[in-house]
Structure 1
Amino acid sequence: MSGPPDAHIRLTLRHRRVLRRLAWAPNELGLARAYVAGEIDVEGDFVDALSGLHRLLAGGALRSDLDWAARREIARTAVRLGAIGLPPKPPAEEIKLTGRIHSRARDARAISHHYDVGNDFYALVLGPSMTYSCALWGEDVETLEEAQTAKVDLVARKLGLTEGMRVLDVGCGWGTFVIHAAREYGARAIGITLSRAQAEFARKRVVEEGLSDRVEIRVQDYREVADGPFDAIASIGMAEHVGAAMLPTYAGALFRLLRPEGRLLNHAISRHPLVPPRPDNTSFISRYVFPDGELEPVSVMSGAIEDAGFEVRDVESLREHYGRTLRAWVGNLDANWAKAVRLSGPGRARVWRLYMAASALAFESGSIGVNQILAVKPGEFGSSGMPSTRTALLS
């Protein structure tokens, strides 16, 4: 199959079951199921192949103006090829959670589904930094590891970290930010995660860095933290799991945990307000990648933070940076494909390849973005303790 002049795509259909999948789910979910099951292969650069396929279909490769004779022939061909029949069973990697949405137990299951794939698998994809959020690609940055270090340092500077400050990292992942905050700024850091695999890895890193006296890693829900106040709170790539209905609870909990004039840095993916939320029954992301994950426009996130009592002081978009970060992750996965399959299984490796490639295109097209919202808990008479200029804030 060939598309626009700048894109050459080759799709190989390895089983007629693909046609039945698409007949029962004629959307991204049906196509994704076929790819995860190994029934479709895509040749060439995977991100560029998806981009070319999207342009091909958007340009009219699938026609809706066929006459009845053509439609009858398609129906006969579908029967001959086995496209008519009961819906095939979804791949084992698909998940549908039960129980009350965004309860603590269900949130823990959702996080485990995504993050407990295996630390060795994530190391292949993320590289040495083990940082699973948007990197910061400056002019003098050449490697993914340098870009991730630049990102966590940007967070630390926006929070105004100094020696002895007590900082909480909500959704700490594999510990990159808390280690940076303690090692480079002398902060005393607590990182919380719902993933036991992440916590185990992060604790080992803390010991190896000789920071056990400054960094603590907990398996804990943000709603369970009760040992505030903190001087600063970072939430990097975690708020996407909270859910719109729980945003007031989330922002309120962080507000209560901060001291007056304490800063919050909320780094989260956003949905463009003109892009509607994806329904669970047709969303590849919700069935395979981020069950119960919800993306909200940056205005909704900042509104929830303000409604909790914070003063929003700075908002920065890093959208283009995330497209580049995801392309780097896909490159790492492809370069280590055989090992990734051994570690996670072929289906799970295909899930991650498809989701990261599609996400790169979504960031590049502007349908989703990523933003850092810096807010402060007002002190007495509304004092903020903040620098008066953005230049001073980042110095």
Structure 2
Amino acid sequence: MTTSAELAAAPSAPAGETNQHYDLDPEIFGLFLDPLRKYSSGLYRRPGLTLAEAQVAKLHFVADRLRLAPGQRLLDVGCGWGSLILFMAREYRAEVTGVSPAGRQHEFIAARAAQLGLTDLVSTRVGKFADVELPARSFDAVTMLGSIVHMPDVDAAVRRARSMLRRGGHFYVSESCFRNAAAREEFDRRAGTEFVRNSIFGWGDMRPLSELVRAVEDAGFSVTSVDDLTDDYRRTIDDWLERVAAGAAAIDELRPGTSAELTRYLEVANAGWGFTTKHYALVCRNAR
């Protein structure tokens, strides 16, 4: 598990590359996310699912796509508040490692792992994926749920992911994408896109799915599945918006103005689904 000394020693990223959104007070996220603090699309494939149920369904979906089994090693790049790694350790008894540049997330994960009795299965690394030292060819699965958008060199990120995997291991990427190259050209510099990129995340580059497919193919992966999760993410954000509205006073008490900022960000995201943007889950196998 990451120590407080490691957190103190971790270098800061340049301002333009710092995903400052993820270093907000974790209690803010607890007020509008599900109890696991999963900050990516849920899976609403049965009627009447709550946000919490949809997020658990999504985590089981990821495990199924990875063919995850007890004792396997999983690397989650951009591990957020630990929802995926803690779940896979608890429910599948996988040995999990999370990577994130946001120091507060590691502190939160360490505390939750201790509470759940998972410290023997859960570890984290502070820093950017490109810079963190990790053992090559030692993982059975690598996941990136909504994190590759924050990596400037998508080809290098995918190559590094493959270098982490043993032969036969699986790579799962779920990401919001422009619908196609023409939509990216037209909408990438619109006011709403720039607000989300600069005011919320500090940096991000949303790409068409075709660029992600090209990157994984060029890296040597075999693509095994592509799932369209666009409507699932729209419904997830609808639920988040309801929770932001319900918790606005408490959110703003922690950080004034944050509820309005979150509302604008989430409304911008939901406005584009199916028109300018899509959300996909891309799964690949390291076949050689």
Question: Shift of residue 276 of structure 1?
Answer: 2.5
Q: Which consecutive unaligned segments of at least 5 residues does structure 1 have?
A: 1-103, 380-395
Map of 1:385 onto structure 2: none
- Would you say 1:275 and 2:183 are equivalent positions? yes
Change (3 A) 1:107 1:280: farther
- Would you say 1:361 and 2:271 are equivalent positions? yes
Question: Shift of residue 291 of structure 1?
Answer: 2.4
- Would you say 1:254 and 2:165 are equivalent positions? no
Question: Shift of residue 107 of structure 1?
Answer: 7.2
Map of 1:351 onto structure 2: 261
Map of 1:5 onto structure 2: none
- Would you say 1:205 and 2:112 are equivalent positions? yes
Separation (CA, whole Å) in 2 of partners of 1:239 and 1:360:
20
Separation (CA, whole Å) in 2 of partners of 1:350 and 1:331:
13
Residue correspondence of structure 1 range 129-140 to structure 2 within 5 A:
129-140=36-47
Q: Normalising by the residue count of structure 1, what TM-score does the alignment of the two structures yield?
A: 0.66
Question: Shift of residue 109 of structure 1?
Answer: 5.0
Residue correspondence of structure 1 range 80-91 to structure 2 within 5 A:
none
Paired residue secondary structure (2:42): coil
Map of 1:371 onto structure 2: 280
Paired residue secondary structure (2:175): strand
Does structure 2 conserve the Cα–Cα contact (< 8 Å) formed by 1:108 and 1:194?
A: no
Map of 1:393 onto structure 2: none
Does structure 2 conserve the Cα–Cα contact (< 8 Å) formed by 1:252 and 1:308?
A: yes
Amino acid at match of 1:183: R
Q: Normalising by the residue count of structure 2, what TM-score does the alignment of the two structures yield?
A: 0.89
Does structure 1 conserve the Cα–Cα contact (< 8 Å) formed by 2:237 and 2:270?
A: yes
Map of 2:133 onto structure 1: 225
Q: Give 1 or 2 for the bigger CA radius of gyration.
A: 1
Separation (CA, whole Å) in 1 of partners of 2:178 and 2:120:
40
Paired residue secondary structure (1:326): helix
Amino acid at match of 2:233: Y
Paired residue secondary structure (1:190): strand
Residue 225 of structure 2: which of 314, 321, 325 is its match?
A: 314
Map of 1:110 onto structure 2: 18
Deviations 1:174-206, CA, capped at 9 Å, x for gaps: 111111111111110111111111111111111
Separation (CA, whole Å) in 2 of partners of 1:107 and 1:143:
37
Deviations 1:265-311, CA, capped at 9 Å, x for gaps: 01111111131242287722223112221111111111101101111
Does structure 1 conserve the Cα–Cα contact (< 8 Å) formed by 2:59 and 2:84?
A: yes
Paired residue secondary structure (2:96): strand
Change (3 A) 1:199 1:280: farther
Amino acid at match of 2:116: E
Residue 35 of structure 2: which of 123, 128, 132 is its match?
A: 128
Amino acid at match of 2:279: V
- Would you say 1:142 and 2:35 are equivalent positions? no
Separation (CA, whole Å) in 2 of partners of 1:108 and 1:119:
22
Map of 2:234 onto structure 1: 323
Amino acid at match of 1:372: A
Does structure 2 conserve the Cα–Cα contact (< 8 Å) formed by 1:280 and 1:286?
A: no
Amino acid at match of 1:110: T
Amino acid at match of 2:106: A
- Would you say 1:342 and 2:253 are equivalent positions? yes
Runs of 4+ in 1 over 6 A off after TM superposition: none
Amino acid at match of 2:127: Q
Separation (CA, whole Å) in 2 of partners of 1:251 and 1:298:
14
Root-mean-square deviation (CA, aligned residues, Å) is 1.9
Deviations 1:100-119, CA, capped at 9 Å, x for gaps: xxxx82378521x2111210
Q: Which consecutive unaligned segments of at least 5 residues does structure 2 have?
A: 1-11
Paired residue secondary structure (1:266): strand
Separation (CA, whole Å) in 2 of partners of 1:225 and 1:325:
34
Separation (CA, whole Å) in 2 of partners of 1:281 and 1:287:
10
Separation (CA, whole Å) in 1 of partners of 2:98 and 2:123:
6
Paired residue secondary structure (2:184): coil
Change (3 A) 1:145 1:253: same
Deviations 1:302-326, CA, capped at 9 Å, x for gaps: 1101101111111001000111110
Map of 2:173 onto structure 1: 266
Q: Which moved more, 1:318-327 or 1:131-140?
A: 131-140
Separation (CA, whole Å) in 2 of partners of 1:289 and 1:242:
16
Amino acid at match of 2:55: Q
Deviations 1:358-385, CA, capped at 9 Å, x for gaps: 212222x431111111101113xxxxxx
- State how many pairs are aligned: 272
Change (3 A) 1:222 1:287: closer
Map of 2:77 onto structure 1: 170
Q: Which moved more, 1:170-179 or 1:214-223?
A: 214-223
Question: Shift of residue 142 of structure 1?
Answer: 2.0
